[in-house]
């Protein structure tokens, strides 16, 4: 029989350094370079021919799995899925509706100046109710020709209102107190306000007025307004009556500063002597009851 070739043990092929080179370094995939001697390196595992692509970070970038299924465009933009996107859009829509609704009902203002001292100080924040005197025209509804619905009524004496300055230029809104409504006669004399000939005691004003204003009848659709700081206020005693059409709303809440947070007091002064008379009647009732 012919001699068979002798079988010899051969070391497995490695990706280490060339013969005679150093036994340290990095291989093709960042693994520890193979090192072996004639007996082989027991810690070395041969490459099985199937490369692996781990997600590694290199300078802030991530190496993705090339065999992974590609993501849809909406998954890239919104990884929470279509259901999460729909819920987010619903929340945004609801927030917009609430914002528009609140802005339609109320509006915040900053008091500028001292014309309403001591009721309002300069720099205070108030919320104005824009529905207070709003009217709704239903003339377009069949059978309701010329019908106007005003659910909250007209401005009343003592209401603190915000209105647009009706003369040019219309750059600012004013805040004043209503002292006369249609059908009433307003007069200022001897340091007092007279409405329909009755002198009023006004504890909310800064000081008694030092001017006079002749008796003036308030016509329909207009109001007479004065600032609580009577001697330092640009109001009806200077520019005349105010059209109800330019009224923005009623100042209902002072929300800043927090130390003065409260509802705005809407009332007109009592007739001179009326408050003392009521106090006397109450005292008399207590004495009788005892």
pLDDT tens-digit readout, 250-265: 999 999 999 999 999 9
Question: Is 176 among the catalytic positions?
Answer: yes
Given 57, 115, 135, 277, which residue is catalytic? 115
**0.75 surpassed by pTM:** no
Question: Is 233 among the catalytic positions?
Answer: no
Query: Given pLDDT bands bounded at 50, 70 and 90, which one contains residue 279?
Result: very low
The least confident of 1-5, 153-157, 176-180 is 1-5
The least confident of 6-15, 172-181, 202-211, 216-225 is 6-15
Residue 144 reports pLDDT greater than 50: yes
The DSSP result for the chain, as a single string, is -PPPPPP---PPP--SPPTTS-S-SB-TTSPBPP---TT--TT-----S-------EETTEEPPPTTSPPPPHHHHH-TTHHHHHHHHHHHHHHHHHHHHHHHHHEEEEE--SSTTTTTS-TT-EEEEETTTT--EE-TTSTT-TT-EE-TT----TT-EEEEE--SSS---EEEEEEEE-TT-EEEEETTEEEETTEEEE-TTSSS---S-EEEEEPPTTEEEEE-SSGGG--SHHHH--EEGGGEEEEEEEEEESGGG-EEPP---PEETTHHHHHHHHHHHHHHHH-
Query: Given pLDDT bands bounded at 50, 70 and 90, which one contains residue 86?
Result: confident
- So what's the pLDDT on residue 172? 84
The least confident of 17-21, 84-88, 108-112 is 17-21
Given 35, 176, 236, 277, which residue is catalytic? 176
Residue 130 reports pLDDT greater than 70: yes
- Write out pLDDT tens, residues 98-122: 766 666 788 889 999 999 999 999 9
Listed residue (279, 267, 265, 269) closest to 199, CA to CA: 269
């Amino acid at each position: 029989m012919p001699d068979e070739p002798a079988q010899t043990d051969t070391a497995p092929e490695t990706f280490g350094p060339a013969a005679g080179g150093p036994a340290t370094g990095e291989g093709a995939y960042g693994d520890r370079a193979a090192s072996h001697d004639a007996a082989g390196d027991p810690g070395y595992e041969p490459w099985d021919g199937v490369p692996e692509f781990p997600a590694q970070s290199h300078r802030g970038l991530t190496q993705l799995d090339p065999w992974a299924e590609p993501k849809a465009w909406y998954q890239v933009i919104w990884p929470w899925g279509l259901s999460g996107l729909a819920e987010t859009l619903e929340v945004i829509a609801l927030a917009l509706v609430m914002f528009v609704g609140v802005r339609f009902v109320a509006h915040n203002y900053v008091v500028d100046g001292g014309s309403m001292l001591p009721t309002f100080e300069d720099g205070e924040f108030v919320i104005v109710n824009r529905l207070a005197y709003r009217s709704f025209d239903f003339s377009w509804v069949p059978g309701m020709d010329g019908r106007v619905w005003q659910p909250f009524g007209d401005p009343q004496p003592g209401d603190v209102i915000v209105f647009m300055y009706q003369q040019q230029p219309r750059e600012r809104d004013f805040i004043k107190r209503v002292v006369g409504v249609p059908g009433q006669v307003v007069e200022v004399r001897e340091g007092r306000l007279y409405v329909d000939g009755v002198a009023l005691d006004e504890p909310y004003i800064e000081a008694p007025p030092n001017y006079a204003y002749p008796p003036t009848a308030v016509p329909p659709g207009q109001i007479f307004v004065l600032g609580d700081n009577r001697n330092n206020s640009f109001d009806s005693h200077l520019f005349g009556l105010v059209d109800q059409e330019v009224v923005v709303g009623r100042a209902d809440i002072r929300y800043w500063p927090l130390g003065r947070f409260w509802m705005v007091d809407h009332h007109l002064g009592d007739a001179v002597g009326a408050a003392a008379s009521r106090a006397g009647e109450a005292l008399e009732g207590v004495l009788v009851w005892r």
